Amino acid sequence: MRKTTLSPIIAGTMNWGVWDKNLSPKEMENMIHVCLENKITTFDHADIYGSYTTEADFGKAFASSKIAREKMQLISKCGIQMLAENKSTKIKHYDYSKNHIISSVEQSLKNLQTDYLDVFLLHRPSPLMVADEIAEAVEKLKADGKIIDFGLSNFTTSQTELIHQKTEISYNQVQFSATNFEPMVDGSLDYMQMNNIRPMSWNPLGCVFRKDIPQTHRLKKLLATLVSKYHLGSDTLLLSWVLRHPAQVIPIAGTVNVARIQSLMKAVELELEKEDWFAIWAESMGEEVA
């Protein structure tokens, strides 16, 4: 059973560093405070973010903030091996050897300036992963107090079951939104509910504001009417759509816009009317439900 309680919405740090917003440690410190002030206490990391630099910058920000560790929850991931400065990797690949998993967690702890991760995830499935070896690493990390909960990211149901046979899985981070609703219809969210695995959703707004295609045209038209009805922004309504699913999906929001961060929790307080929820799904599909 899970031992960690995460905030209803998670702050995603992938774009905080050099990959996008290029926030300084001082700016990250301010962003941490803004998140905590708005009841977003969980922060999602991965070793590779910012080409292996964002964790360390966040760690400096956290140390400078003087915030008590128990006031926040830290998630990180490992497994993807990228080409980067000071790395000997010649081709992008995955590594889930016991030694690599343990050393990656230890490096993340050093970067984040903490003694433990609340949640540790395998970033993407590898055809070469050995479930027994993964389980050995996870059990050691738990026994040593370096991680509390273990989970996966972007794993299919069968891949999850493979690992689940060997060690407890508490989370699976998948792409889920009104425009990427496959986990809802391919059995993934059903499986997670049956096995007490909590889903996290990356890119929970989908491609609504990123692509100019018939699907997003339909959704924007509908959302305009719902904005008038609920007096909330389109992004808040889309997050509410994700949160309405009974699998208790936790969205990961990557925004660093203070006004948007301040409005995120309104999605938690709102429960979309059932017909509006289905209207969003129908417009995404381009047809009504069967």
Percent of the residues in the chain that have a pLDDT greater than 90, as a whole number: 97
Taking residues 213-240, what's their average pLDDT? 97
Taking residues 49-60, what's their average pLDDT? 97
Beta strands at 250-253 and 198-202: parallel, antiparallel or unpaired = parallel
pLDDT at 5: 94
Q: What is the per-residue pLDDT across 92-111, written as a single tens digit (0 to 9) for each?
A: 999 999 999 999 999 999 99
The residue ranges of every structural domain in the chain are: 10-175
- Gap between the Cα atoms of 147 and 135, Å rounded: 13
3-state secondary structure of 264: helix
Predicted TM-score of the model (pTM): 0.97
- Gap between the Cα atoms of 61 and 10, Å rounded: 18
CATH classification (class only), 10-175: alpha beta
| Active-site hit among 49, 96, 171, 191 | 49
Taking residues 263-285, what's their average pLDDT? 96
Which residues pair with residue 78 across a beta bridge?
122
Supply the mean pLDDT for the chain: 96
pLDDT at 1: 64
Angstrom distances, CA of residue 125 to CA of 48, 89, 165: 15, 18, 16
Q: What is the per-residue pLDDT across 152-165, written as a single tens digit (0 to 9) for each?
A: 999 999 999 999 99
What are the tokens at 241? Answer: 């759509």
Residue 49 a catalytic site member:
yes
pLDDT at 3: 84
- Number of continuous H segments (helices) and E segments (strands) in the chain: 13, 10
Question: Is the confidence at residue 78, as pLDDT, over 90?
Answer: yes
Cβ(13)–Cβ(255) below 8 Å: no
Taking residues 262-282, what's their average pLDDT? 96
- pLDDT-based confidence at 4, cuts 50/70/90? confident
Question: Is the confidence at residue 232, as pLDDT, over 80?
Answer: yes
Taking residues 20-24, what's their average pLDDT? 95
